Structure 1
Amino acid sequence: MSHRLYYGRNSERQKAPGAMSTPRRHVPFGRRGMLTRRKHGTQVPKRFVTTYHWKSGQRVRILALEPYFGGSHRAFLEGWSQAGRHEWTILSLPAYKWKWRMRHAAVTFAGQVQERLARGATWDLLFCSDMLNLAEFLGLAPPAVQELPSVVYFHENQLTYPVRVESERDYQFAMTNMTSALAARAVWFNSAFHRDAFLHALEAFLSRMPDYQPFDAVAGIRAKSQVFPPGVPGFAPRGPRRAGPLRILWAARWEHDKNPEEFFAALGLLKERQVPFRISVIGEQFREVPEIFAHARRYLADHIDRWGYQQDRTDYEATLLEADVFVSTATHEFFGLSAVEATLAGAYPLVPRRLAYPEVFDCHEGKAAQEFFYAAGARGLADRLADLAGRTESNDSLHHAARPIRDRLTRFEWPNRAPILDEALEQRRA
């Protein structure tokens, strides 16, 4: 048996004027935004995607609504829909102006769904991300869709997402997250850390309101919350290491919540100590980039291998496969896709002992925690990097040293994750 994966007409890859592109994840694109699957020498347009085979199990027809089809949101839907066994209809909007997407997506999708129903489409389950105002959408949607069991997946949330100045936070978006969670039959989070942080912040937020504080809403959301981490693509075994100094990779978004100041301060200390190293600084960029990146590019010019967002997935994977060590300095992270991918590609992870990292890497104490977590601060990071640089010079294989943690992370590869997610949806459909 087989199923088809359908995309909505608004899911074509688009880039807003002056904006950086969102990462290409998992699915190769041909010219003019077409999803390329060659069959008998033809290119299949993105709206009529190739047929995939599905394994045994109960078939579920899923209507997926994604207002912000970029980055981890896009990678998640594309990876799961290709690795899983169910039938997906994905309606999406370009990853641009997220606030506007959260405002209008419910209205836009309600119209698109009505058009598809008129053409005979039917579904068993509704799936959306935290970027959709689900309660609003259900109020606008036709009865056939209102009655579907619904799952909302939280990649992030607007209560704990970092802002430079707290007064800039728009709590209406936080309320949208809350009402979406209340409207859904099930609420999924990408990590237990994320779930706990959101529910704690929601309770604290409501406690500051003047009256009619719906604390029972928090209990209701908690009762139907579950943790379902995303999947990642697998990597072929890396070849022999090229000669040279320690190759350091930083692959986070170029924003303040990823704490680039600490990373570059640590590299500055390495340079002062005359420790040999090379760096690749990649990751998604937006219109406003912290000034530290321009300064670091000048100061560390003699150490740079790659700099800037890797537009092509092949280049991104090549960068991961070249790295000896992956570094995160994040102060905000609900899962850490790039950390997981880099480690599976063979890099030695060096991350802070906070956020979702202990949960994702499944090491809270003991030798593994000592190996792969560093003491907070630029000096603690620099000390660990200097040690790893010395081990590289003495031909101590960091790739081999990271194998235990790499083996733990194989649970996130799509062939392992998709069946778990598929079964969870089957249970929701029942």
Structure 2
Amino acid sequence: MSILIIEAFYGGSHQQLVDLLQEELDSCVLYTLPAKKWHWRARTAALSFSQSIPSSEHYSKNKQKNYKRKNEREIRTTYTTFLLPNGKKRTLFASSVLNLAELAALRPDLGKLKKILYFHENQLVYPVKKYQERDFQYGYNQILSCLVADVVVFNSIFNMESFLTSIGKFLKLIPDHRPKDLESIIRPKCQVIYFPIRFPDVSREHDKDPESFFKVLMHLKNLGLNFHVSVLGETFTDVPDIFSEAKKALGSSVLHWGYLPCKEDYFRVLCMADVVISTAKHEFFGVAMLEAVYCGCYPLCPKDLVYPEIFPAEYLYSTPEQLSKRLQSFCKRPDIIRKHLYKGEVAPFSWAALHGKFRSLLTTEPREDL
């Protein structure tokens, strides 16, 4: 097989997915842009890729090139042939950060490939203070991308349904000459394939609402309760002030703080923890939560977003007060959670369980009517 993978935001779960596909599937071609300035990537990546991806007559099999751009992450590229001897189409796989409609128009040769669009998140329900403040162009880009894609894949049912059912309301922001019936056009192309996680061999952003998370922890600290916390994650351009304030306030309770580039070290910290907490206001899957659960952590998640789809009701809370009470009880009786056996399942989200679906998705020809 030959698969052209394009990732306009090569970092976090986006990087994790395309790296996994490239490692596990044959003849993958990966083109990326670094994971920074998300809004610029969403708006301009198609034009950049239209110039950086060689035209079909320049492809040669198994020619690999590694290079770096100044002040950017490594961009890995493998050139290959995209036409089978019998003339069958090859596959283009991209995340919804990319404006696929623009790329297909700028590069008709790439537009002829089987085009698969993968949604890690969607911009139609991204949290804003007022609906009128929503930047129309990013959601509109994703709708256009769906219209030109052959297959549209979401990482959860919540992600898919929140996107599809919001199209009509979203398009009402257009003052006149609104397009019609787009949900009914896009829905037949859609399916859900959960994000595949390569779980380790172990023995046991503003949209994540860090303010609520740290307020609960500082409340526990003020109550004199004994606990330790590890705050892990990659730091991008803008870091909310609450992070530095919380680190200082929590003091000796902090075990680890910041990004751990080594995956083994990251999982080692997870295995040391008893509880993993999410206070997210914007989550369509939650890779880190499932990784922590696999490593033995007791999850506490909002009773909202994608979480009820993945975690049993026992692990969900409705208010910050409920979260605080649960954590207070755990601080007083840590033996309760250390003896606890997780009542949900993580195996369905593993690469072992999902690799067949991805292989079928990336190798099957699109229907002629798409």
Give secondary structure in 2 for the equivalent of 1:403: coil
State the alpha-carbon separation in 2 of the partners of residues 104 and 112 from structure 1. 13
Q: Does 1:188 align with 2:153?
A: yes
Structure 2 CA distance for aligned equivalents of residues 70 and 122 of structure 1: 26
Who is 1:104 aligned against? Answer: 44
Residue of 82, 90, 101 corresponding to 1:122: 82
Q: Distance in 2 between matches of 1:354 and 1:102?
A: 27
- Pair 1:388-2:330 in alignment: yes
Say which of 25, 30, 53 aligns to 1:113. 53
Shift, 1:277, TM fit: 0.5
User: CA shift at 1:269, angstroms?
Assistant: 2.5
Partner residue, 1:75:
16
Kindly indicate whether residue 362 of structure 2 is the aligned counterpart of residue 419 of structure 1: no
Aligned position for 2:200:
235
Aligned equivalent of 2:215, options 262, 265, 274: 265
Q: 1:126 corresponds to which letter in structure 2?
A: L
Summarize deviations over 1:213-249 as a string: whole Å, max 9, x none: 213122111221111111112122336xxxxxxxxxx
Deviation per CA, 1:19-65: give whole Å up to 9, x if none: xxxxxxxxxxxxxxxxxxxxxxxxxxxxxxxxxxxxxxxxx311111
Aligned in 2, Cα 1:112/1:74: closer, same or farther, shift over 3 Å?
same
How many angstroms apart in 1 are the aligned matches of 2:42 and 2:48?
A: 11
Q: Report the AA paired with residue 338 of structure 1.
A: A
CA shift at 1:167, angstroms? 5.7
Equivalent in the alignment of 1:199 = 164
Is 1:92 the counterpart of 2:32 in the alignment? Answer: yes
From 77, 87, 102, the counterpart of 1:136: 102
Task: Indicate conservation of the 8 Å contact 1:67/1:92, yes or no.
Answer: yes
Q: Shift in Å at residue 107 of structure 1?
A: 2.1
Relative to structure 1, the CA distance from residue 193 to residue 276 in structure 2 (aligned partners, 3 Å threshold; closer, same or farther) is same
Q: Are the aligned partners of 1:67 and 1:93 in contact in 2 as well (CA < 8 Å)?
A: yes
Task: Please tell me whether the aligned partners of residues 160 and 201 of structure 1 are also in contact (alpha carbons under 8 angstroms).
Answer: yes
Find the partner of 1:295 among 245, 253, 278. 245
Task: Name the SS of the counterpart of 2:49 in structure 1.
Answer: helix
Q: Distance in 2 between matches of 1:334 and 1:113?
A: 30
Name the SS for the 1:277 alignment partner. coil
Instruction: Tell me how far apart the structure 2 counterparts of residues 285 and 165 of structure 1 sit (CA, whole Å).
Output: 27
Aligned to 2:316: 373
Residues 1:158 and 2:100 aligned together: no
User: Residue in 1 aligned with 2:177?
Assistant: 212
Q: Secondary structure in 1 aligned to 2:225?
A: coil
State the distance in 2 between where 1:152 and 1:276 align: 46
Deviation at 1:258, TM superposition (A): 1.1
The residue that corresponds to 1:49 in the other structure is none
Whether the 8 Å CA contact 1:66–1:128 is kept in 2: the answer is: yes
CA contact (8 A) 1:192 1:227 kept: yes
Between the aligned partners of 1:104 and 1:258, the Cα distance in structure 2 is 26
* TM-score using structure 2 length: 0.86
How far apart, CA to CA, are the structure 2 residues paired with 1:130 and 1:193?
Answer: 16
Q: 1:324 to 1:113 in 2, by over 3 A?
A: same
Q: d(CA) in 2 for partners of 1:410 and 1:400?
A: 21
AA at the equivalent of 1:222:
R
Are the counterparts in 1 of residues 91 and 363 from structure 2 also a CA contact under 8 Å? no
| CA–CA distance in structure 2, aligned partners of residues 138 and 99 of structure 1 | 20
3-state SS of 2:53 partner: helix
Distance 1:166 1:301, change over 3 A: farther
Tell me the amino acid that sits aligned with residue 305 of structure 1: L
Which AA in structure 2 matches 1:386? Q
Once the two structures are superposed, residues 158-179 of structure 1 have per-residue CA deviations (whole angstroms, 9 ceiling, x without a partner) of 2222346656543112211110
Give me the whole-angstrom Cα distance separating, in 1, the residues matched to 2:157 and 2:276. 23
Aligned residue number for residue 72 of structure 2: none
The structure-2 alpha-carbon separation of the partners of 1:236 and 1:80, relative to structure 1 and needing over 3 Å to count, comes to same
5+ residue gaps, structure 2, are 61-80, 84-89
CA distance, structure 1, for counterparts of residue 19 and residue 59 of structure 2: 25
Inter-partner Cα distance in structure 1 for 2:351 and 2:341 = 21
8 Å contact 1:349–1:402 — kept in the other structure?
no
Identity of aligned residues (%): 36
1:177-234 Cα shifts (integer Å, max 9, x gaps): 1100000011111111111111232211112322222131221112211111111121
1:335 and 2:285 aligned:
yes
Aligned residue-pair number: 341
Q: Is the 8 A contact 1:114 1:141 kept in 2?
A: no
Match among 343, 349, 361 for residue 404 of structure 1: 343
- Tell me which amino acid in the other structure corresponds to 1:161: Y
Please give the alpha-carbon distance, in whole angstroms, between the structure 2 residues aligned to 1:81 and 1:400: 39
Q: CA RMSD in A?
A: 2.0
Q: Which amino acid aligns with 1:99?
A: H
Partner of 1:39: none
What's the offset of the Cα at 1:118?
A: 1.8
Unmatched segments (≥5 aa) in structure 1: 1-59, 240-252, 364-368
Q: Are the structure 2 counterparts of residues 68 and 290 from structure 1 closer, same or farther at C-alpha, using a change threshold of 3 Å?
A: same
CA separation of 1:428/1:277 partners in 2, compared to 1, >3 Å: closer, same or farther? farther
Moved more, 105-114 or 382-391: 105-114
> Is residue 209–residue 279 contact of structure 2 (8 Å, CA) maintained in 1?
yes
Letter matched to residue 331 of structure 2:
A
SS at match of 1:321: helix
